[in-house]
Amino acid sequence: MIPYGKHHLEEDDIQAVVAILRGGALTQGPTVDAFERVVADYVGARFAVATASGTAALHLAAMIAGVGPGSALATSPITFIASANAALYVSGTPCFVDIDRSTVNMSPAALRSLLEHRRDIKAVVPVHFAGLPCDMPPIRAAADSAGAVVIEDAAHALGARYPNGSLVGCCAHSLMTVFSFHPVKAVAAGEGGMITTNDEHVYRRLLRLRSHGINKADDPLIRPADGNDAGQRNPWYYEMQELGYHYRITDIQCALGMSQFQKLDRFIARRRELAHRYDAAFAGLRKCHAAQQVGRELSGHHIYVLRIDFAGLGLSRGDVMRRLRAQDIGSHVHYIPVPAQPHYRSLGFDPVDYPEAAAYYREALTIPLYYDLSDAQQDYIIAAILSMVA
């Protein structure tokens, strides 16, 4: 079976994990700090805080942004549910901004329209879908005019670049950027997430929130009389300064992530090459085309999505997927619009309110894209699809 996505491991990745297992700290050790520094330096941010998952990172980012009862978080309907769930985790209200047809990313015009009608939005979470950066300057301008914090969901976009050449994660257009290290991502750590920021206050609070709300050793104390003796910190003393969570990542995961990170540029270069080959194969077809046809040199190329006129083919999406599976080709759909999920329908959302997202979903099919996919395998996939859509 050729899966739609998979991780790539080499011997040095394995040995990096073995070294941790044979060494000292398995968690809360120096490898976490080292991984954070590597990521921050790479993307050009001042600070990075690693977490147990990208979902945990989104939750903490929503807390930092001040989302809560009586306020809302706006994100794309075409995303994994975690982007919207972050609002619910903090008792806020999720809301959705329709996508741009050519990018599958948040539409800046739709965002401006939403912000003109809603004054309760505290955070805007643009999702860099499939690794293609959103059009961030107008998104940031719209959010600023409404007093909302921007949190970039870059779970797909590690290694992606903005048009000016700077890397996603530098936080030039946001207060925070969130990454994921799930196994199908470009850099796999098993599980794990990361938040980058240029704000020291945000950085220090993130460190507390990911570890039960407990202060780091160099944080100011709320009760210094309890924590100090003759001007020195009592060695046993710590303070839970607010309600936090157990969202720590392990040194084992960070060792794998750091080893993988050294290969990121190579991984993305190969993914880009594969995307270009797909583009060429499907160019000019009437009933099938790439969902994103712009920004190939900017994208992190997490996934490759086709838009297929299934009705025009006389085949359902399920038919196409089953025919591909019969030829040992995996496929997927990214994503069912979040407002279509039963829980979100129960909250009053209706996917028909987001017509571009609904139209995209009717036609979307994710086909295999990953570093180890060979040219021969890709040619086999292309031939199988062309036999149905050409």
Structural contact between residues 237 and 227, judged by C-beta atoms closer than 8 angstroms: yes
List CB contacts of 186: < 8 A, sequence separation 6 or more: 131, 158, 159, 264, 267, 268, 271, 300, 301, 302, 371
Query: Would 150 be classed as within a structural domain?
Result: yes
Write down the H helix ranges in the chain. Answer: 11-22, 30-43, 54-65, 82-89, 108-117, 136-146, 200-209, 224-227, 251-261, 264-282, 310-313, 317-326, 342-346, 355-363, 375-389
Query: Would 186 be classed as within a structural domain?
Result: yes
Final residue before a domain boundary, out of 261, 286, 308: 261
Q: Do 209 and 72 share a domain, yes or no?
A: yes
Final residue before a domain boundary, out of 240, 261, 282: 261
Omega within 30 of 0 (cis) for the link into 278: no
Query: Would 6 be classed as within a structural domain?
Result: no
Query: Would 1 be classed as within a structural domain?
Result: no
187 vs 175: CA distance, rounded Å: 23
Average pLDDT of the chain is: 97
pLDDT digit string (tens) for 105-127? 999 999 999 999 999 999 999 99
The three-class DSSP label of residue 178 is: strand
Structural contact between residues 219 and 192, judged by C-beta atoms closer than 8 angstroms: no
Query: Would 174 be classed as within a structural domain?
Result: yes
Q: What percent of the chain has pLDDT over 70?
A: 100
Q: Do 242 and 318 share a domain, yes or no?
A: no
232 vs 318: CA distance, rounded Å: 67
Q: Do 165 and 130 share a domain, yes or no?
A: yes
pLDDT surpassing 90 at residue 231: no
pLDDT digit string (tens) for 312-360? 999 999 999 999 999 999 999 999 999 999 999 999 999 999 999 999 9
Residue 218, pLDDT score: 80
Packed helices 108-117 and 136-146: angle between N→C axes, nearest 10 degrees: 10
Q: Do 37 and 75 share a domain, yes or no?
A: yes
Q: Tell me the DSSP string of 38-78.
A: HHHHHHT-SEEEEES-HHHHHHHHHHHHT--TT-EEEE-SS
Structural contact between residues 26 and 167, judged by C-beta atoms closer than 8 angstroms: no
The closest of 89, 287, 251, 62 to 175, measured between CA atoms, is: 62
**CATH number for the domain including 304?**
3.90.1150.10
Q: Which two tokens stand for residue 208?
A: 């507390």
Q: Do 237 and 299 share a domain, yes or no?
A: no
Q: Do 144 and 209 share a domain, yes or no?
A: yes
pLDDT surpassing 90 at residue 241: yes
Final residue before a domain boundary, out of 245, 261, 277: 261
Task: Using the Cα atoms of residue 274, residue 279, residue 281 and residue 287 in order, give the sign of their dihedral.
Answer: positive
Query: Would 2 be classed as within a structural domain?
Result: no
Q: Do 53 and 123 share a domain, yes or no?
A: yes
**What range defines the domain where residue 349 resides?**
264-389
H or E element, residue 194: strand 193-197
291 vs 297: CA distance, rounded Å: 16
pLDDT surpassing 80 at residue 28: yes
Q: Which two tokens stand for residue 266?
A: 């190579």
Residue 25, pLDDT score: 93
**CATH number for the domain including 235?**
3.40.640.10
Q: Do 239 and 361 share a domain, yes or no?
A: no
Q: Do 269 and 231 share a domain, yes or no?
A: no
pLDDT surpassing 90 at residue 6: yes
Residues in the chain: 390
Instruction: Please list, residue by residue across 284-314, b when 16 or more beta carbons sit within 10 angstroms of its beta carbon and e when fewer do.
Output: ebebbbbbbeebeebbbbbbbbbbbbbeeee
Query: Would 305 be classed as within a structural domain?
Result: yes
Residue 269, pLDDT score: 98
Structural contact between residues 74 and 125, judged by C-beta atoms closer than 8 angstroms: yes
40 vs 197: CA distance, rounded Å: 9
Q: Do 116 and 248 share a domain, yes or no?
A: yes
Query: Would 94 be classed as within a structural domain?
Result: yes
pLDDT digit string (tens) for 129-142? 999 999 999 999 99
| 77, 83, 113, 121 from 71: Cα distances, Å | 18, 16, 17, 6
* pLDDT band, residue 24 (cuts 50/70/90): confident
Q: Do 253 and 294 share a domain, yes or no?
A: no
pLDDT digit string (tens) for 245-273? 999 999 999 999 999 999 999 999 999 99
Number of domains present in the structure of the chain: 2
Q: Do 277 and 372 share a domain, yes or no?
A: yes
| 64, 301, 318 from 158: Cα distances, Å | 22, 9, 31
